[in-house]
Amino acid sequence: MGFKDLTAFNLAMLGKQGWKFQTQPECLVTRLFKARYFPRGNYIEAKLGHNPSFVWRSIFNARRVVCSGARWNIGNGINIPIFDAPWLSDGSCISGEGQSSDIIHQTRVNSLIDHNNHNWDYNVINYYFDPETVQKILKTPLFRQVEEDQLIWKTEKNGHYSVKSMYRICMEEIAGNSHLHRTGNWDNIWRIKLPPKVKNLIWRVCRNCLPTRARLLDKGVDCPSLCALCDESYEDTLHVLFDCHKARNVWRESCLMSKIDLAMHNNTTAEIIFALL
């Protein structure tokens, strides 16, 4: 059914509100929270504060994922800290580790720009940073059309926040759910010209989500383990679809049995499905 990780989805929704705090300072809700929790700064640099409300605490906790998807589009550089801010072209930061707190909070990107020519000041950059960081800075573009610093969403072409892309960031970078990833041509499933319910069924088969007796036993359901059709073998997804003699009769009538036999050699159910697409 495509159920989402509710923790990651909740963070993505909270991040949407946090993004509004950062990019829409004139909004009434933004002004209310700013007056209470970050009167002299912005959402990205805000502190949790003393005795915060549950709403602010929740939105504040989403800040880390907002920062992971945000990148500064450089204008004059006055509002962008040099250290620990995502302003390089690849969205990365220059670490402020080892720097004094005064330097981290006071130095801004505008001090690295030659404002007469609207280019990077190579002499200044080369003096303060190592060669690798120098190259990263020089590869970061400066556009004359951009007059003011603007925070953009780096995973979307239009630069606007997207719950969908934020959810993906939460799953891949924040939630650490790499163990849920499966290799394969997943895009081919959604490109098939079939009804959505059929494509969803194929996806569920490949992800081993069908309620076979093997899966039910894994979930603690008390039921027999043998196939309900042949009553001979352990009923998992591979058996139900390809190994059971009744399923094989259906594939044989469809003239796909030879292709399935070739694909079944030491392959998983998903790999067999991909071979048939």
Q: For the segment 18-63, what is each residue's pLDDT rounded down to a tens digit?
A: 999 998 989 999 999 999 999 988 898 888 888 899 999 999 999 8
pLDDT of residue 182: 63
CA–CA separation, 140 and 9 (whole Å): 32
What average pLDDT score do residues 131-139 get?
A: 90
Q: What is the 3-state secondary structure (H, E, C) of the chain?
A: CCCCCHHHHHHHHHHHHHHHHHHCCCCHHHHHHHHHHCCCCCCCCCCCCCCCCHHHHHHHHCHHHHHHHEEEECCCCCCCECECCCCCCCCCCECCCCCCHHHHHHCEHHHHEECCCCEECHHHHHHHCCHHHHHHHHHCCCCCCCCCCEEEECCCCCCCCCHHHHHHHHHHHHCCCHHHCCCCCHHHHHHCCCCHHHHHHHHHHHCCCCCCHHHHHHCCCCCCCECCCCCCCECCHHHHHHHCHHHHHHHHHCCCHHHHHHHCCCCCHHHHHHHHC
Split at pLDDT 50, 70, 90, the class of 266 is low
Q: Which residue has the higher pLDDT, 182 or 244?
A: 244
Instruction: Please state which of the ranges 37-41, 63-67, 104-108, 226-230 shows the lowest mean pLDDT.
Output: 104-108
pLDDT of residue 180 exceeding 60, the answer is: no
88-103 tens-digit pLDDT: 887 788 887 766 555 5
pLDDT of residue 240 exceeding 60, the answer is: yes
pLDDT of residue 194 exceeding 50, the answer is: yes
